[in-house]
């Protein structure tokens, strides 16, 4: 079983990546395979609403989104992390969200995958919860199952993330929650199939 982590930061090795690494380390400890997708390394365009995916055709944009769509479909769990930009996700992450519309239009291919979110800002109350809400909205609209950190809404941290002990705890707790639910789901699926 695979868990994919997406960082919406345009900066390499920044706070978002640091926290995403911590979340994926939890997933690896559980024995899940992990994959990272970083906006700082990917080249992709905006969705132009050409309508091809509504007609069952593949997206005509030949950029790195094919990697993202493949990884999301292969994964059972998806962790999305973003810096707070003006109280919301980065434009880069929103562009990725929009480009996942073929997965929804062509059979809700992310349905019942489990997701959690992480947000990091420069201010302590800089819009992290609103940023999580935006990520959660994408997950809900894709038919995913959304988890928080077992107390509140997910991973919430302030820069410098490495020094935010409490924030890092919410990140680890969110990853734990996601992994626990994946294991429960696996057990349930096994029971239903009778094995």
Ligand X SMILES: Cc1cc2nc3c(=O)[nH]c(=O)nc-3n(C[C@H](O)[C@H](O)[C@H](O)COP(=O)(O)O)c2cc1C
Separation of alpha carbons 23 and 100, rounded Å: 23
CA 137 vs CA 32, 87, 94, 133, 183: distances in Å: 25, 15, 11, 6, 24
Check residue 94 for interaction with ligand X (CB under 6 A).
no
H/E segment holding residue 17: helix 15-29
CB under 8 A, 24+ apart: contacts of 44-53: 44/68, 44/95, 44/96, 44/99, 45/95, 45/99, 46/95, 46/98, 46/99, 47/95, 47/98, 47/99, 47/101, 53/101, 53/102, 53/105, 53/106
> Would you tell me the crossing angle of helices 165-193 and 15-29 to the nearest 10 degrees?
40
Contact region for ligand X (CB under 6 A) — 102-110, 115-123, 141-149, 164-172?
115-123
* Shorter beta-carbon distance to ligand X: residue 61 or 88: 88
Q: Considering only residues 32, 85, 97, 138, which one is a binding residue for ligand X as defined by CB under 6 A?
A: 85
Termini Cα distance of the chain: 17
Contact call for residue 154 and ligand X (CB under 6 A): no
Q: How far is the CB of 7 from ligand X (least distance, A)?
A: 7
Q: Is 126 in the site for ligand X (CB under 6 A)?
A: yes
Q: How far is the CB of 5 from ligand X (least distance, A)?
A: 13
- Contact between 155 and ligand X by CB under 6 A: the answer reads no
Q: Using the rule CB under 6 A, is 134 a contact of ligand X?
A: no
CB of 119 to ligand X, least distance (A): 8
| 120 part of the interface to ligand X, by CB under 6 A | yes
Element (H, E) at 71: helix 65-74
Residue 127 as a binder of ligand X (CB under 6 A): the answer is yes
From 56, 58, 87, 107, residue interacting with ligand X (rule: CB under 6 A): 87
Contact call for residue 11 and ligand X (CB under 6 A): yes
Does position 84 interact with ligand X (CB under 6 A)? The reply is yes
Alpha-carbon distance of 157 to 165, in angstroms, equals: 9
**Residue 9, interface with ligand X (CB under 6 A)?**
yes
The site for ligand X, by CB under 6 A, has a size of 17
**Residues forming the site for ligand X (CB under 6 A):** 9, 11, 14-16, 83-87, 120-123, 126-127, 159
């Amino acid at each position: 079983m695979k868990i994919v982590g997406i960082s919406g930061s345009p900066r390499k090795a920044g706070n978002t990546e640091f926290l995403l690494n911590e979340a994926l380390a939890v997933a690896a400890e559980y024995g899940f395979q992990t994959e990272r997708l970083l906006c700082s390394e990917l080249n992709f365009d905006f969705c132009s609403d050409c309508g091809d995916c509504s007609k069952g055709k593949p997206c005509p944009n030949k950029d790195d989104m094919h990697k993202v769509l493949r990884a999301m479909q292969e994964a059972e769990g998806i962790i999305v992390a973003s810096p707070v930009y003006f109280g919301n996700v980065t434009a880069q992450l929103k562009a990725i969200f929009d480009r996942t519309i073929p997965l929804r239009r062509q059979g809700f291919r992310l349905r019942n995958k489990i997701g959690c979110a992480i947000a990091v800002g420069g201010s302590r109350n800089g819009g992290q919860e609103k940023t999580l809400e935006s990520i959660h909205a994408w997950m809900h609209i894709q038919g995913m199952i959304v988890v928080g950190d077992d107390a509140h809404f997910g991973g919430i941290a302030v820069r410098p993330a490495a020094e935010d002990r409490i924030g890092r705890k919410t990140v680890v707790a969110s990853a734990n929650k996601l992994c626990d639910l994946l294991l429960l789901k696996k057990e349930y699926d096994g029971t239903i199939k009778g094995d």
